[in-house]
Structure 1
Amino acid sequence: MKKTAWGMPVTGLSALRGVMAAGLGLGLLATGSAWAQEASGCPELAAETGLTWEYRGNGDTDFCRALRSDGSEAFGLYIAKKTPFSPKKGNRVETGHIDGQEVNWYKGELAGKPDVQVRETLLPLADGRVAHIWMQAATKEELAKVIGQTETMHFPATRLSSK
Protein backbone atom coordinates (compact mmCIF):
# COMPACT_ATOMS: atom_id res chain seq x y z
CA MET A 1 0.00 0.00 0.00
CA LYS A 2 1.33 3.44 -0.93
CA LYS A 3 2.05 5.78 2.03
CA THR A 4 2.31 9.56 2.44
CA ALA A 5 5.41 11.39 3.66
CA TRP A 6 4.03 10.95 7.21
CA GLY A 7 3.50 7.19 6.87
CA MET A 8 -0.29 7.37 6.45
CA PRO A 9 -2.02 5.18 3.82
CA VAL A 10 -2.82 7.14 0.67
CA THR A 11 -6.62 7.27 0.31
CA GLY A 12 -8.98 10.11 -0.61
CA LEU A 13 -7.85 13.37 0.99
CA SER A 14 -4.65 11.68 2.21
CA ALA A 15 -3.66 11.19 -1.42
CA LEU A 16 -4.05 14.91 -2.10
CA ARG A 17 -1.92 15.80 0.93
CA GLY A 18 0.73 13.28 -0.08
CA VAL A 19 0.97 14.68 -3.60
CA MET A 20 1.24 18.25 -2.29
CA ALA A 21 3.82 17.37 0.36
CA ALA A 22 5.98 15.45 -2.11
CA GLY A 23 6.25 18.48 -4.38
CA LEU A 24 7.05 20.97 -1.64
CA GLY A 25 10.56 20.02 -0.56
CA LEU A 26 11.94 18.84 2.74
CA GLY A 27 12.20 22.08 4.78
CA LEU A 28 10.65 21.32 8.16
CA LEU A 29 10.86 24.34 10.44
CA ALA A 30 10.62 24.60 14.23
CA THR A 31 7.61 26.23 15.84
CA GLY A 32 7.57 29.08 18.33
CA SER A 33 5.31 29.96 21.24
CA ALA A 34 2.39 32.31 22.09
CA TRP A 35 0.40 33.51 18.99
CA ALA A 36 3.28 31.77 18.36
CA GLN A 37 2.50 28.42 17.02
CA GLU A 38 4.00 30.10 13.99
CA ALA A 39 6.11 28.69 11.20
CA SER A 40 7.30 30.68 8.24
CA GLY A 41 4.54 30.64 5.65
CA CYS A 42 1.83 29.42 8.04
CA PRO A 43 -0.85 31.69 9.48
CA GLU A 44 -0.94 32.68 13.13
CA LEU A 45 -3.04 30.59 15.53
CA ALA A 46 -4.45 31.68 18.87
CA ALA A 47 -2.41 30.17 21.71
CA GLU A 48 -5.50 28.63 23.33
CA THR A 49 -5.85 26.19 20.41
CA GLY A 50 -2.84 24.27 21.78
CA LEU A 51 -1.81 23.52 18.19
CA THR A 52 1.63 23.79 16.60
CA TRP A 53 2.55 24.01 12.93
CA GLU A 54 4.51 21.56 10.85
CA TYR A 55 5.66 23.41 7.73
CA ARG A 56 7.05 22.59 4.32
CA GLY A 57 7.46 25.15 1.59
CA ASN A 58 8.95 25.85 -1.79
CA GLY A 59 8.94 29.22 -3.55
CA ASP A 60 5.48 30.74 -3.25
CA THR A 61 3.84 27.48 -2.12
CA ASP A 62 3.32 26.62 1.57
CA PHE A 63 2.06 23.39 3.15
CA CYS A 64 1.09 23.57 6.84
CA ARG A 65 -0.27 20.93 9.22
CA ALA A 66 -1.79 22.06 12.54
CA LEU A 67 -0.78 19.37 15.02
CA ARG A 68 -2.22 18.47 18.42
CA SER A 69 0.11 17.74 21.35
CA ASP A 70 -0.16 13.99 20.56
CA GLY A 71 1.13 14.63 17.01
CA SER A 72 -2.19 14.01 15.25
CA GLU A 73 -3.37 16.44 12.59
CA ALA A 74 -6.20 18.81 13.54
CA PHE A 75 -6.28 20.34 10.05
CA GLY A 76 -4.03 21.17 7.16
CA LEU A 77 -3.68 23.87 4.57
CA TYR A 78 -2.03 24.36 1.23
CA ILE A 79 -1.28 27.92 0.09
CA ALA A 80 -0.54 28.54 -3.59
CA LYS A 81 -1.65 30.58 -6.59
CA LYS A 82 -3.80 27.62 -7.73
CA THR A 83 -5.26 24.68 -5.86
CA PRO A 84 -6.44 21.29 -7.06
CA PHE A 85 -9.57 21.58 -4.87
CA SER A 86 -12.66 22.67 -6.78
CA PRO A 87 -15.69 22.96 -4.48
CA LYS A 88 -19.07 21.68 -5.63
CA LYS A 89 -21.96 23.92 -4.60
CA GLY A 90 -24.09 20.89 -3.70
CA ASN A 91 -21.50 19.83 -1.09
CA ARG A 92 -21.70 23.13 0.85
CA VAL A 93 -22.73 22.30 4.42
CA GLU A 94 -21.55 25.07 6.78
CA THR A 95 -20.37 28.65 6.76
CA GLY A 96 -17.83 30.25 9.05
CA HIS A 97 -15.28 33.06 9.28
CA ILE A 98 -11.51 32.89 8.97
CA ASP A 99 -9.41 36.03 9.32
CA GLY A 100 -12.49 38.24 8.89
CA GLN A 101 -13.66 36.54 5.70
CA GLU A 102 -16.73 34.39 5.35
CA VAL A 103 -15.96 30.87 4.14
CA ASN A 104 -18.14 28.01 2.98
CA TRP A 105 -17.22 24.55 4.25
CA TYR A 106 -17.75 21.69 1.82
CA LYS A 107 -18.35 18.08 2.79
CA GLY A 108 -15.84 15.56 1.49
CA GLU A 109 -15.42 11.80 1.75
CA LEU A 110 -12.63 9.38 2.50
CA ALA A 111 -12.62 6.13 0.56
CA GLY A 112 -13.46 3.26 2.88
CA LYS A 113 -14.24 5.57 5.83
CA PRO A 114 -17.83 6.77 5.38
CA ASP A 115 -18.21 7.81 9.05
CA VAL A 116 -15.28 10.26 9.04
CA GLN A 117 -16.38 13.90 8.94
CA VAL A 118 -14.41 15.66 6.16
CA ARG A 119 -14.56 19.40 5.44
CA GLU A 120 -12.67 21.61 2.98
CA THR A 121 -12.74 25.28 2.06
CA LEU A 122 -10.88 27.88 0.03
CA LEU A 123 -9.77 31.24 1.43
CA PRO A 124 -8.49 33.95 -0.94
CA LEU A 125 -5.45 35.74 0.51
CA ALA A 126 -4.33 39.37 0.16
CA ASP A 127 -1.19 38.36 -1.78
CA GLY A 128 -3.24 36.80 -4.61
CA ARG A 129 -2.80 33.21 -3.47
CA VAL A 130 -5.48 30.95 -2.05
CA ALA A 131 -5.45 28.75 1.06
CA HIS A 132 -7.05 25.31 0.65
CA ILE A 133 -7.96 24.19 4.19
CA TRP A 134 -9.11 20.67 5.06
CA MET A 135 -9.90 18.61 8.13
CA GLN A 136 -11.03 15.15 9.19
CA ALA A 137 -12.87 14.36 12.42
CA ALA A 138 -14.29 11.22 13.99
CA THR A 139 -17.40 12.96 15.39
CA LYS A 140 -19.52 16.03 14.73
CA GLU A 141 -18.36 17.43 18.10
CA GLU A 142 -14.68 17.06 17.14
CA LEU A 143 -15.48 18.63 13.75
CA ALA A 144 -17.06 21.67 15.43
CA LYS A 145 -13.99 22.06 17.67
CA VAL A 146 -11.58 21.92 14.73
CA ILE A 147 -13.66 24.38 12.68
CA GLY A 148 -13.47 26.71 15.70
CA GLN A 149 -9.67 26.32 15.76
CA THR A 150 -9.42 27.27 12.08
CA GLU A 151 -11.43 30.40 12.81
CA THR A 152 -8.58 31.67 15.04
CA MET A 153 -6.16 31.80 12.08
CA HIS A 154 -4.76 35.13 10.95
CA PHE A 155 -2.84 35.53 7.69
CA PRO A 156 -0.61 38.62 8.05
CA ALA A 157 0.48 39.59 4.54
CA THR A 158 4.02 40.43 5.67
CA ARG A 159 4.57 36.91 7.03
CA LEU A 160 3.47 34.98 3.98
CA SER A 161 6.36 33.69 1.93
CA SER A 162 5.08 34.82 -1.44
CA LYS A 163 7.91 36.00 -3.66
Structure 2
Amino acid sequence: MTRVMLCALHHFRAHGRVPGSLSRKIPLMKTRHRLLLAMLLPFPAFAQPAPRCPELPVDGNLSWEVTQGEGFLYCKAMREADGAQAFSVMLRDKSPFRERFGLREEKAVIDGHEVRWYRGDTALQPDAIVRETQIELDDDLYAHIVLRVETEAQRVESQRLAESLRFRDTWIGSN
Protein backbone atom coordinates (compact mmCIF):
# COMPACT_ATOMS: atom_id res chain seq x y z
CA MET A 1 0.00 0.00 0.00
CA THR A 2 1.39 3.39 -0.91
CA ARG A 3 1.98 6.26 1.48
CA VAL A 4 -0.75 8.29 -0.27
CA MET A 5 -3.25 5.49 0.33
CA LEU A 6 -2.33 5.24 4.01
CA CYS A 7 -2.69 9.00 4.45
CA ALA A 8 -6.04 8.95 2.66
CA LEU A 9 -7.29 6.03 4.75
CA HIS A 10 -6.18 7.63 8.02
CA HIS A 11 -7.74 10.98 7.14
CA PHE A 12 -10.98 9.34 5.96
CA ARG A 13 -11.36 7.39 9.20
CA ALA A 14 -10.63 10.47 11.31
CA HIS A 15 -12.67 13.04 9.36
CA GLY A 16 -15.05 11.10 7.11
CA ARG A 17 -13.54 12.48 3.91
CA VAL A 18 -10.34 12.49 1.92
CA PRO A 19 -8.63 15.91 1.66
CA GLY A 20 -8.52 17.54 -1.76
CA SER A 21 -4.74 17.24 -2.15
CA LEU A 22 -4.91 13.46 -1.65
CA SER A 23 -8.11 12.90 -3.62
CA ARG A 24 -6.42 14.27 -6.76
CA LYS A 25 -3.65 11.66 -6.37
CA ILE A 26 -5.95 8.69 -5.70
CA PRO A 27 -7.35 8.45 -9.27
CA LEU A 28 -3.77 8.00 -10.48
CA MET A 29 -3.27 4.89 -8.35
CA LYS A 30 -3.30 1.50 -9.93
CA THR A 31 -6.63 -0.32 -9.97
CA ARG A 32 -5.30 -2.95 -7.60
CA HIS A 33 -4.42 -0.31 -5.01
CA ARG A 34 -7.79 1.43 -5.37
CA LEU A 35 -9.60 -1.86 -4.75
CA LEU A 36 -7.48 -2.52 -1.68
CA LEU A 37 -8.20 0.95 -0.34
CA ALA A 38 -11.92 0.48 -0.96
CA MET A 39 -11.92 -2.78 1.00
CA LEU A 40 -10.25 -1.09 3.99
CA LEU A 41 -12.62 1.89 4.18
CA PRO A 42 -15.56 1.65 6.60
CA PHE A 43 -19.02 1.31 5.10
CA PRO A 44 -21.46 2.86 7.60
CA ALA A 45 -24.52 1.75 5.65
CA PHE A 46 -23.56 -1.88 6.15
CA ALA A 47 -22.04 -1.72 9.61
CA GLN A 48 -24.36 -2.72 12.46
CA PRO A 49 -24.22 -0.14 15.23
CA ALA A 50 -23.34 -1.19 18.74
CA PRO A 51 -26.18 -1.01 21.27
CA ARG A 52 -26.04 1.34 24.25
CA CYS A 53 -27.76 1.17 27.59
CA PRO A 54 -31.00 3.16 27.78
CA GLU A 55 -31.13 6.58 29.40
CA LEU A 56 -31.61 6.39 33.16
CA PRO A 57 -34.16 8.61 34.94
CA VAL A 58 -32.53 11.79 36.23
CA ASP A 59 -34.18 11.52 39.65
CA GLY A 60 -33.12 7.93 40.25
CA ASN A 61 -29.54 8.40 41.50
CA LEU A 62 -28.54 5.38 39.42
CA SER A 63 -25.54 4.49 37.32
CA TRP A 64 -24.94 1.69 34.83
CA GLU A 65 -22.57 -1.24 35.22
CA VAL A 66 -22.16 -2.55 31.68
CA THR A 67 -21.07 -5.92 30.32
CA GLN A 68 -20.83 -6.39 26.58
CA GLY A 69 -20.67 -9.85 25.08
CA GLU A 70 -21.11 -11.58 21.75
CA GLY A 71 -24.58 -10.50 20.61
CA PHE A 72 -25.74 -8.84 23.83
CA LEU A 73 -25.33 -5.84 26.12
CA TYR A 74 -26.09 -6.32 29.84
CA CYS A 75 -26.83 -3.13 31.78
CA LYS A 76 -27.19 -3.20 35.58
CA ALA A 77 -28.77 -0.10 37.15
CA MET A 78 -26.94 0.37 40.45
CA ARG A 79 -28.16 2.66 43.23
CA GLU A 80 -25.53 5.26 44.06
CA ALA A 81 -26.69 5.45 47.70
CA ASP A 82 -26.08 1.82 48.68
CA GLY A 83 -24.52 0.13 45.62
CA ALA A 84 -27.45 -2.30 45.31
CA GLN A 85 -28.88 -3.30 41.95
CA ALA A 86 -32.26 -1.67 41.21
CA PHE A 87 -32.90 -3.62 37.98
CA SER A 88 -31.12 -4.89 34.89
CA VAL A 89 -31.65 -4.58 31.14
CA MET A 90 -30.42 -7.16 28.63
CA LEU A 91 -30.31 -5.88 25.04
CA ARG A 92 -30.03 -8.53 22.33
CA ASP A 93 -31.42 -9.53 18.96
CA LYS A 94 -33.20 -12.61 20.35
CA SER A 95 -34.67 -12.86 23.81
CA PRO A 96 -35.03 -16.02 25.90
CA PHE A 97 -37.91 -14.36 27.81
CA ARG A 98 -41.31 -15.98 27.25
CA GLU A 99 -44.55 -14.48 28.51
CA ARG A 100 -46.26 -16.81 30.97
CA PHE A 101 -49.87 -15.69 31.17
CA GLY A 102 -50.46 -17.33 34.57
CA LEU A 103 -47.73 -15.11 36.03
CA ARG A 104 -49.06 -11.75 34.79
CA GLU A 105 -48.88 -8.85 37.18
CA GLU A 106 -48.86 -5.08 36.65
CA LYS A 107 -49.48 -3.23 33.36
CA ALA A 108 -47.19 -0.33 32.53
CA VAL A 109 -45.83 1.91 29.79
CA ILE A 110 -42.08 2.17 29.26
CA ASP A 111 -40.93 4.84 26.81
CA GLY A 112 -44.22 4.63 24.91
CA HIS A 113 -44.28 0.80 24.84
CA GLU A 114 -47.19 -0.90 26.61
CA VAL A 115 -45.80 -3.74 28.70
CA ARG A 116 -46.92 -6.30 31.23
CA TRP A 117 -44.77 -7.20 34.22
CA TYR A 118 -44.56 -10.92 35.05
CA ARG A 119 -43.72 -12.64 38.32
CA GLY A 120 -40.49 -14.53 38.30
CA ASP A 121 -38.51 -16.54 40.78
CA THR A 122 -34.97 -17.44 41.59
CA ALA A 123 -33.74 -20.65 43.17
CA LEU A 124 -30.98 -18.81 45.03
CA GLN A 125 -33.38 -16.36 46.71
CA PRO A 126 -36.77 -18.08 47.13
CA ASP A 127 -38.20 -15.14 49.13
CA ALA A 128 -37.14 -12.50 46.59
CA ILE A 129 -39.76 -10.54 44.67
CA VAL A 130 -38.94 -10.82 40.96
CA ARG A 131 -40.55 -8.97 38.07
CA GLU A 132 -39.60 -9.09 34.41
CA THR A 133 -40.85 -7.69 31.15
CA GLN A 134 -39.72 -7.36 27.56
CA ILE A 135 -39.87 -4.59 24.99
CA GLU A 136 -39.41 -5.07 21.26
CA LEU A 137 -37.52 -1.92 20.32
CA ASP A 138 -37.34 -2.74 16.61
CA ASP A 139 -37.15 -5.82 14.37
CA ASP A 140 -33.66 -6.70 15.56
CA LEU A 141 -33.50 -5.57 19.18
CA TYR A 142 -35.24 -6.63 22.39
CA ALA A 143 -34.89 -5.22 25.89
CA HIS A 144 -35.49 -7.75 28.69
CA ILE A 145 -35.87 -5.92 32.01
CA VAL A 146 -35.58 -7.80 35.32
CA LEU A 147 -35.78 -6.63 38.93
CA ARG A 148 -35.11 -8.67 42.08
CA VAL A 149 -35.90 -7.09 45.44
CA GLU A 150 -36.64 -8.12 49.03
CA THR A 151 -39.64 -5.94 49.91
CA GLU A 152 -42.80 -4.69 48.25
CA ALA A 153 -41.64 -1.07 48.75
CA GLN A 154 -38.39 -1.86 46.89
CA ARG A 155 -40.41 -3.48 44.07
CA VAL A 156 -42.59 -0.40 43.67
CA GLU A 157 -39.54 1.90 43.59
CA SER A 158 -37.49 -0.30 41.23
CA GLN A 159 -40.45 -0.66 38.87
CA ARG A 160 -41.02 3.10 38.90
CA LEU A 161 -37.38 3.67 37.96
CA ALA A 162 -37.41 0.97 35.26
CA GLU A 163 -40.62 2.43 33.81
CA SER A 164 -38.80 5.79 33.48
CA LEU A 165 -36.15 4.39 31.10
CA ARG A 166 -35.75 6.01 27.68
CA PHE A 167 -34.61 3.82 24.79
CA ARG A 168 -34.45 6.49 22.07
CA ASP A 169 -30.67 6.29 21.63
CA THR A 170 -30.22 2.60 22.37
CA TRP A 171 -29.04 1.99 18.81
CA ILE A 172 -26.39 4.50 17.80
CA GLY A 173 -27.66 6.23 14.68
CA SER A 174 -31.30 5.27 15.26
CA ASN A 175 -34.02 7.72 14.39
Same fold (TM over 0.5): yes
Q: 1:19: which partner in 2? A: none
How far did 1:73 drift?
Answer: 0.8
Q: 2:109: which partner in 1? A: 97
Q: For structure 2, list consecutive stretches of 5 or more residues without a partner in the other structure.
A: 1-50
How far did 1:115 drift?
Answer: 2.1
Matches of 2:61 and 2:139, distance apart in 1: 28
* The structure with more radius of gyration: 2
Change (3 A) 1:160 1:127: farther
Q: 2:157: which partner in 1? A: 145
Residues 1:44 and 2:30 aligned together:
no
Matches of 2:66 and 2:139, distance apart in 1: 19
How far did 1:83 drift?
Answer: 1.3
Matches of 1:127 and 1:60, distance apart in 2: 15
Q: 2:67: which partner in 1? A: 56
State the number of aligned residues. Answer: 123
Matches of 1:127 and 1:54, distance apart in 2: 26
SS in structure 2 at match of 1:141: helix
Matches of 1:101 and 1:85, distance apart in 2: 17
Q: 2:39: which partner in 1? A: none
How far did 1:112 drift?
Answer: 4.8
Q: Tell me the TM-score normalized by structure 2.
A: 0.64
Deviations 1:52-111 (A, max 9, x none): 011122465211000011221110011111112212111111111110111110101111
Matches of 1:110 and 1:45, distance apart in 2: 25
2:141 partner letter: R
Q: 1:72: which partner in 2? A: 84
**Cα RMSD between the aligned structures?**
2.1
Matches of 1:52 and 1:137, distance apart in 2: 18
Q: Tell me the TM-score normalized by structure 1.
A: 0.69
Change (3 A) 1:80 1:49: same
1:115 partner letter: D
Q: Which runs of 4+ in 1 moved over 3 A?
A: none
Q: For structure 1, list consecutive stretches of 5 or more residues without a partner in the other structure.
A: 1-39
Matches of 1:53 and 1:125, distance apart in 2: 20
Are the counterparts in 2 of residues 59 and 161 from structure 1 also a CA contact under 8 Å?
no
Q: 1:108: which partner in 2? A: 120
Are the counterparts in 2 of residues 60 and 161 from structure 1 also a CA contact under 8 Å?
no
Matches of 2:101 and 2:119, distance apart in 1: 10
Match of 1:160 among 139, 156, 171: 171
